[in-house]
Amino acid sequence: MTGLMRVLGIDPGLTRMGMGVVEGMVGRPLTLIDVNVIRTTSTLPIAERLVTIERGIDAWLDEHQPDAVAVERVFARSDVSTIMGTAQASGIALVCAARRGLPVALHTPSEVKAAVSGNGRADKAQVGAMVTRILRLDAPPKPADAADALALAITHIWRGGAQARIDAALAASRRPTSTSTRTTRSRA
């Protein structure tokens, strides 16, 4: 196994859904594959907006064929309507990835900020600046949702990839070693 991983980072939102694909591995320079934002207008019914988001995510999954999807974990803010829209958009992202059998990881905003900047309380400008530096870009991705999506993908490669290898090793160590063990279990 080479360890090279392609991750689709998704910064969920009902109006702007940041999408970023990064490829690489721990200890090596990472490469930006693509970045953009799926936009929906608040004049449309929520169901139609969610269908637009679903189609956009599916198109990205088809085009970029990621090994994993990293989605920002929804956290409570003061505005309930913002939380609801973000949670609905996040759910669409989870369903799109799960439908394809892709591993999905949820990373908190503070975890992502800490991973890319070393500071779990970094502001959007600091995150954008570090994403620019890590991916060797000429300018920070705009809008901030795009930079956040790339930060999620970077975080997953740096942290999630290692965790996935640990989880796989643990799962392999728990597998039954003989058919007689399986037979005994199936009778129980």
Question: What letter represents residue 101's amino acid?
Answer: G
* 67 assigned to a ligand binding site: no
How confident is the model at residue 8, as a pLDDT? 98
Residue (of 134, 126, 128, 119) closest to 24 by Cα position: 134
Cα–Cα distances (Å) from 173 to 6, 103, 155, 168, in that order, read 26, 20, 27, 9
* 48 assigned to a ligand binding site: no
Q: What are the phi and psi torsion angles at 170 (to 5°)? A: -65, -40
Candidates 23, 34, 63, 72; catalytic one: 72
Look at the chain and report how many structural domains it folds into: 1
The residues, any chain, with a CB within 8 Å of residue 136's CB and separated by 6 or more, are 29
Active-site residue flag, 145: yes
Residue (of 43, 50, 55, 66) closest to 152 by Cα position: 66
Strand partners, 9: 20, 70
DSSP 71-138: EEPP---S-HHHHHHHHHHHHHHHHHHHHTT--EEEE-HHHHHHHHHS-TT--HHHHHHHHHHHTT-S
C-alpha to C-alpha distance for 169 and 72, rounded to whole angstroms: 26
Domain harbouring 161, CATH code = 3.30.420.10
* pLDDT tens-digit readout, 151-167: 999 999 998 656 666 66
Active-site residue flag, 11: yes
Contacts 24+ apart (CB under 8 A), 121-127: 124/148, 127/151
DSSP 28: S
Candidates 34, 79, 145, 148; catalytic one: 145
Q: What is the mean pLDDT of residues 22-27?
A: 94
- The residue segments making up the domain with residue 174 are 5-187
* 11 assigned to a ligand binding site: yes
10 Å Cβ neighbour count for 100? Answer: 13
* pLDDT tens-digit readout, 59-118: 999 999 999 999 999 876 667 778 899 999 999 999 999 999 999 999 999 999 999 999
Consecutive H or E run containing 5? strand 5-11
In terms of pLDDT, which residue wins out, 154 or 188?
A: 154
